[in-house]
Structure 1
């Protein structure tokens, strides 16, 4: 799986570089980035790759991005739930339409053909390659499981996990924004990359252990970007900065250090 993911990343980033070299790199950069990362998710989890210029594909990415934006806004009702009573119906309809469009895309391009195979009592062994979709459908249709997953739950699971491409693309955009204001950090990352690759090959996942500064930069970006409205609960006793953290308290990330 590690090698598979690495090869997928290599191919998609190569295509992204080719796309950017043929146009103004700053023109629709986020669209190109999101399209690339979405294909990484679809190939890895669904064994399906899309033409990034496909209008339906671009529409799906836009809907995911809109939902991600709304979820991470931090409305007052997120902290005072009773205020949700005053939210307008147009806001809810917007999210509902986006969700319905995403579901239609998933069914048409990812699930219908696979479901037809399982309805004919085909098993995952009949497919060329087992992936996340196979695992979900096997849980839905397999007669050997004591408790089968229903199809709706499987669809929600798939939509959630491939929707992770939106979080990654927005995270990268935010990190690039941070780096613009810190040329010294850019230089140190470049030094680390050059030392690993000798300008002769692209960076791979296997290089991670030898690139601590780059990884530290990524982790610092995650700390700064983490949404305060998403609860983070400690699952075991630990310590942060030498202070004991017991199991189960809710942790609020500090994004404004002295």
Structure 2
């Protein structure tokens, strides 16, 4: 969601030593002023003294607590390990030296948890202790810590409960939403068919198709592929999500007072989301004008009804501001991750044509040339199901997971993690766990097939995370991936443009996505 969005960011959190440090700082500042006025020290000496003081304060404030997870022995003042660690490989670089649970400084100390068993121990067995989100300045400025992803406590529980209930009411897990998705499959196939086998970039049309499913659920309508305004919105969201994984976003969260005043790419994150939020507010206004409580059309209408029920309980968050941010979370999360996975799917199919061919054989056997798949068909298509799962595993859309915050002092595998510590339970380390996967770094659908060719579940398949904050759109995403993927391979054979060798080059922002690429779609 908007916190696909929070994945790579860090923040300077409130520190238990803050009052003491504040008193020290005030005392020293007053002393320096007196000394300077008395002529005992010149200006350069004052500045050097203050600089040394700030470094000492930073060292005191960020001193590792007793029995804290180990990490690099030294860090730069203020920025910590920001500039000497590759954010794409944090979990690999440091884990090699310090093990599956370690800490680094990204403004403040953060704990990383790696590997299937430690991640499950944290997120599932001790779920209540790792359930909160931190307050990050960048996202506070965008969504005020509201919505479905950034909120905590009572408000988060009520909003998550309502969102799940409402999505089910409008077809999640039912035939009606399957039928709606099948209609969108036909629209997508028509647009791709119009390319007449010539090279084209699939990313924008796939994004539009996926966005239309969540748009029907939250806005009550889909958007045509020729709608330039909607295409622009999707591009703005995509760029904002990419920039949220950049060093600019991390610097914003460390030094918000400074970054708010400086130009740079971080300003695009704010302006892009402001445009998307403006679009959502317009949709809410349109709904308000013709809302009928007796016949809710979508999530927004249902939220209006809920606002009336909860008007005496402000803490539950059923107000128009929160409606905007919850809708933003659903729209952004319901578009970004599934569309990125489908774009990986097409790239893997042109990279491995022999796998594409085996999927098509199974589709032809079960569905024939024209009948669109339903979710009931998945049980009879184990190879196709295995390929989709392997695409999700290798695509590794949210490699670091979304950041958590400990709700109380916690012990994890012998280490003490104080209340208010940011924690990353990395999904990359689970999806590529060398203990759990036979060939973790190779694209191998056999990971999800038994000796008889039947589909098998794997404990280490956690692309949607786990525990109390598991992705609430998991069921929707699974349906979309199966129906869109089978429909596309039923109608077309995908290949790279003539003379082009496909690569799996990626870009890492808040999500891990393929770089723009072209392919050819030849009707079967």
> Which of 186, 206, 220 pairs up with 1:33?
206
Which residue does the alignment assign to 2:301?
134
Q: Matches of 1:76 and 1:144 in 2, distance apart?
A: 40
Which residue does the alignment assign to 1:150?
319
Displacement of 1:161 = 0.9
Q: TM-score, normalised by structure 1?
A: 0.78
Q: Matches of 1:91 and 1:229 in 2, distance apart?
A: 22
RMSD value, Cα:
3.0
Paired residues of 2:218 and 2:298 also in contact (CA < 8 A): yes
Paired residues of 1:139 and 1:149 also in contact (CA < 8 A): yes
Paired residues of 2:400 and 2:424 also in contact (CA < 8 A): no
Query: Residues 28 and 180 from structure 1, CA distance in 2 versus in 1: closer, same or farther, beyond 3 angstroms?
Result: closer
Paired residues of 1:208 and 1:215 also in contact (CA < 8 A): yes
Larger Rg: 2
> Which of 160, 165, 178 pairs up with 1:6?
178
Runs of 4+ in 1 over 3 A off after TM superposition: 73-79, 81-89, 141-148
Q: TM-score, normalised by structure 2?
A: 0.41
Displacement of 1:231 = 4.0
Taking the TM superposition and a 5 Å limit, the aligned residue runs for 1:1-258 are 1=171, 2-24=174-196, 26-71=199-244, 73=245, 75=247, 82=254, 89-108=263-282, 110-117=283-290, 123=293, 125=294, 127=295, 129-142=296-309, 146=313, 147-163=316-332, 164-226=334-396, 227-231=398-402, 250-254=425-429, 256=432, 257=440
Query: Residues 141 and 209 from structure 1, CA distance in 2 versus in 1: closer, same or farther, beyond 3 angstroms?
Result: same
For structure 2, the 5+ residue unaligned runs are 1-170, 405-422, 433-439, 442-524
Question: Which has the higher mean CA deviation after the structures are superposed, 186-195 or 92-101?
Answer: 186-195
For residues 150-204 of structure 1, the C-alpha deviation after alignment (integer angstroms, 9 at most, x for no partner) is 2222111111111221221111111221222222221221122112112241222
Structure whose residues are more often helix by fraction: 1
Matched residues, number: 236
Paired residues of 1:232 and 1:252 also in contact (CA < 8 A): no
Question: Which has the higher mean CA deviation after the structures are superposed, 15-24 or 157-166?
Answer: 15-24
Paired residues of 1:141 and 1:148 also in contact (CA < 8 A): no
Q: Matches of 2:403 and 2:362 in 1, distance apart?
A: 32
